């Protein structure tokens, strides 16, 4: 394993067609072969392979916390050649709410790199603190979801096009393809705001070649 720079990651995406695959139920609605027909397939967190979801995995994008159950052996078996982390190796934010509740791991991500250092097996990209904070500020000082972060990250490398599937921003109440999603604490001052993520995603369509599965399209344009 080695940590790689943005310059080294750029050739994975620049000028290429990219499928970004989340873990929402919409991933099951694809025609077999559609996802794998892209130049690059990026999968997020606890993905599951199938005929509809595709069988290829080139890039694994994750926050790499305790809720991520994919072992390194499974990623190697699936063909992953690049891991990308959502979180910087840093104390990213100061939050009294998290400190008082013993949830410091939600703003200080250095523990991830202690936990996972022996786990990464391939080239691994870790964002600088400022790159992470750009997504945070974009959402009015809220931590972006891993899926939204993956979309922003890939777009920053200027792909020719992206196809989004398996994202519905929790409107289905399902994640990990077929498991019930449990929202975070309602009073978390920097918690996820999927409605703001949807609003920003809509604003990207005029400027990028973005296609989506039917379920996400219905959520974006009800």
| pTM of the complete model | 0.93
**Which residues partner with 66 through β-bridges?**
none
The share of the chain scoring above pLDDT 90, in percent, equals 65
Work out the average pLDDT over 125-146. 93
pLDDT score recorded for residue 37: 98
Which of 31-45, 65-79, 96-110, 161-175: highest mean pLDDT?
31-45
Residue 116 pLDDT exceeds 80: no
Average predicted confidence (pLDDT) for the chain: 90
What is the average per-residue pLDDT within 24-45?
A: 95
pLDDT of residue 174: 74
Ranges 63-72, 78-87, 170-179, 182-191, most confident: 78-87
Residue 144 clears pLDDT 80, i.e. is over it: yes
Give the model's pLDDT for residue 118.
Answer: 67
- Please give the pLDDT value at position 184: 78
Distances (CA, A) of 88 to 115, 128, 147, 165: 14, 6, 16, 26
Q: Which domains does the chain have, with CATH numbers?
A: 3-220 (3.90.1480.20)
Q: State the pairing for strand pair 174-175/161-165.
A: unpaired
């Amino acid at each position: 394993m080695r940590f790689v720079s943005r310059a080294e990651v750029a050739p994975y995406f620049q000028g290429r067609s990219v499928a970004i695959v989340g873990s929402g139920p919409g991933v099951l609605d694809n025609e077999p072969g559609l996802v794998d027909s892209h130049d690059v397939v990026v999968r997020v967190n606890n993905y599951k392979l199938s005929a509809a979801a595709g069988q290829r995995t080139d890039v694994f994008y994750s926050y790499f916390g305790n809720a991520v159950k994919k072992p390194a052996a499974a990623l190697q078996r699936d063909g992953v050649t690049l891991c990308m982390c959502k979180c910087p190796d840093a104390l990213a934010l100061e939050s009294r709410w998290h400190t008082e509740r013993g949830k410091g791991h939600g703003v200080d991500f250095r523990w991830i790199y202690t936990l996972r250092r022996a786990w990464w097996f391939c080239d691994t990209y870790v964002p600088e603190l400022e790159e992470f904070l750009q997504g945070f500020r974009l959402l009015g000082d809220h931590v972006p979801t891993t899926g939204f972060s993956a979309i922003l990250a890939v777009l920053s490398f200027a792909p020719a096009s992206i196809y989004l599937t398996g994202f519905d921003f929790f409107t289905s109440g399902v994640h990990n393809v077929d498991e019930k999603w449990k929202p975070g604490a309602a009073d978390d001052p920097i918690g996820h705001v999927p409605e703001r993520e949807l609003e920003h995603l809509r604003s990207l369509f005029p400027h990028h070649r973005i296609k989506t599965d039917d379920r996400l399209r219905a959520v974006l344009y009800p």
